[in-house]
Structure 1
Amino acid sequence: MKLLRVGAPGEEVPAVRSDDGRTFALSGLTRDIDGPFLASGGIDRVREALADGTLPVFDGDGLRVGPPIARPGKVVCVGLNYRDHAEETGAAVPERPVVFMKDPSTVVGAHDQVLIPRGSVKTDWEVELAVVIGRTARYLADRAAAMECIAGYAISNDVSEREFQLEYSAQWDLGKSCETFNPLGPWLVTPDEVGDPQSLGLWLAVNGETRQDGNTKNMIFDVPYLVRYLSQYMVLSPGDVINTGTPAGVALGLPGTPYLRAGDVVELSIDGLGAQRQAFIDA
């Protein structure tokens, strides 16, 4: 299944897209797609309602598609998780996951405009597989337990300002938490539809020119490893998001490649998870 939220910012309504491409309203089942919905077995209830044919058809043509999960409690990010990306940026291949946090308020819809911060000269792009947590994860024992905590997957653009990130502070947060810096979606796709999360192609283009073309099979630390690892150091709650890293092809790793400027358009996709398109404008 593909879960989505449609409508103006702050006014999104929940919906589901079935295997045959039809969209159904979920307002009779839940107020929103959020942590409490996921924790209470909401996905199973939607699946049952689809099978029973009790959901009304939703006509969302022309409406904005918001992020597929209401504002997460936290967005946990993993840096340098593709060997080719670490190499292109001149960083050592990490022996343990590089973990940082991103302000949850950065999460916007897949096709929303992205604001280039005032004073920015190095706004960059990063296509990433996002993992959405569906049940509380703490001190998970093994990979199987980690997979059971995943509600689904989505596309994330982990937009970054490299000067803020790498030159202004020893921490990455300044360059990662600027407003609108995490387009997410368009859908939350359930694990049964995705299959193996380590066999998904990732692609990103800037103004029609391909910049990134990778595959999740090249992650240094795969999805179940990351969920289990993070659960040893923090409680992952339903609705939390994990950005799992980006392959090579970012501006930081391509000398001479221009960073993003107002008027640029970024398009990205991941196999089975849909596509995003963002116009970048000045804040």
Structure 2
Amino acid sequence: MRFVRYGEAGAEKPGVLDGDGRLRDLSGEVADIAGDVLTALPQVDPATLPEVPGAPRLGPPVGRVGKLIGIGLNYSDHAAEAGLTPPPEPIVFMKATSSIIGPNDPVYLPRGSEKSDWEVELGVVIGRPAKYVTEAEALDHVAGYTIVNDVSERHLQTERKGQWTKGKSCDSFGPIGPWLVTPDETGDPQTLDLVLDLNGKPAQRGNTASMVFSAAFIISYLSQMMTLHPGDVIATGTPPGVGMGMKPPRFLREGDVMSLAISGLGTQRQEVRRDA
């Protein structure tokens, strides 16, 4: 199934798409797609739910995200374009949850930014608490999959002192969605194509088969260090084609448009604006 949250920012309602892609209201079944609801997502025939008229804004498909965890250099071909060898263990960083926006909301360049960049990533949404789980058990703890644009300000990330979190957490740097797609509909998470176009021209092209560490490995690995709770989101890394890897580098400018897609998980579109 494909779950969504729709409506104005901060007041989203739960929804689901029917077989024809029409939006159906799920608020009569659950209050939100968040927390413990993710442990047992509603099993309901979408055709029995009220259809939502018009084309409302889509918010992030998961509410009340507790942790937004990023994995760095997790595609062998992306590491190569950065001139780096794949890491022996996952590189883990946090993105502030205040960076989260809907899949089609504008992305704002922070004041003084000259090196903001794009990163299409497979997002894994936790559905059951995961603590000390094995790799074989890991995917049983997944509520579903989505798209994350791990927008990154490279100057803050790598040229300033400290951790990557600074360059990853600017307001609006975490578009998520449009859908939360359940594992049965997604299929094998290691066979998905990822695409990002910039102003209608190809930028990123990749497949999750090139991940250094699989989604199952990442969940197991993280669960040895921290409990993963329902609603936590893991952004699992990006394929090649980011701006810093171009020759010469090409970073986001006001007026740019990013278009993202992952097989079976829908599409995103963000216009880039300059923050006030």
TM-score in terms of structure 2 length: 0.97
**1:180-219 alignment, distance < 5 Å:** 180-219=172-211
Q: Quick one: distance in 2 between partners of 1:271 and 1:65?
A: 19
Q: Quick one: distance in 2 between partners of 1:255 and 1:171?
A: 26
**1:244-283 alignment, distance < 5 Å:** 244-283=236-275
Residue 137 of structure 1: how far off its partner (Å): 0.3
Q: Quick one: distance in 2 between partners of 1:3 and 1:165?
A: 33
Number of matched pairs: 275
Which residue pairs with 1:28 in the alignment? 28
Which residue pairs with 1:74 in the alignment? 67
**1:52-67 alignment, distance < 5 Å:** 55-67=48-60
Q: Deviations over 1:53-106 (max 9, x none)?
A: 6x4222242210110001300101100000111111122210100001110111
Moved more, 8-17 or 59-68: 59-68
Q: Secondary structure of 2:272's match?
A: strand
Which residue pairs with 1:242 in the alignment? 234
Q: Secondary structure of 2:32's match?
A: coil
Which residue pairs with 1:145 in the alignment? 137
Q: Deviations over 1:158-184 (max 9, x none)?
A: 000000000112310110000000100
Q: Deviations over 1:108-127 (max 9, x none)?
A: 10000001010100000000
Q: Structure 2 regions of 5+ residues with no counterpart?
A: none
2:214 is aligned with 1:222: yes
Q: Secondary structure of 2:30's match?
A: coil
Which residue pairs with 1:17 in the alignment? 17
Residue 31 of structure 1: how far off its partner (Å): 1.1
Q: Structure 1 regions of 5+ residues with no counterpart?
A: none
Supply the AA of the counterpart residue of 2:12: E
Moved more, 127-136 or 24-33: 24-33
Which residue pairs with 1:37 in the alignment? 37
Residue 144 of structure 1: how far off its partner (Å): 3.0
Residue 252 of structure 1: how far off its partner (Å): 1.0
Which residue pairs with 2:127 in the alignment? 134
Moved more, 18-27 or 214-223: 18-27
Structure 1: 4+ residue segments shifted above 6 A: none
Which residue pairs with 2:111 in the alignment? 118
Q: Quick one: distance in 2 between partners of 1:136 and 1:243?
A: 17
Match of 2:157 among 162, 165, 169: 165
Residue 22 of structure 1: how far off its partner (Å): 3.2
Q: Secondary structure of 1:197's match?
A: coil
Q: Secondary structure of 1:154's match?
A: strand
Residue 254 of structure 1: how far off its partner (Å): 1.0
Match of 2:99 among 100, 106, 128: 106
Q: Secondary structure of 2:58's match?
A: coil
Q: Secondary structure of 2:70's match?
A: strand
Moved more, 235-244 or 13-22: 13-22
TM-score in terms of structure 1 length: 0.94
Supply the AA of the counterpart residue of 2:34: D
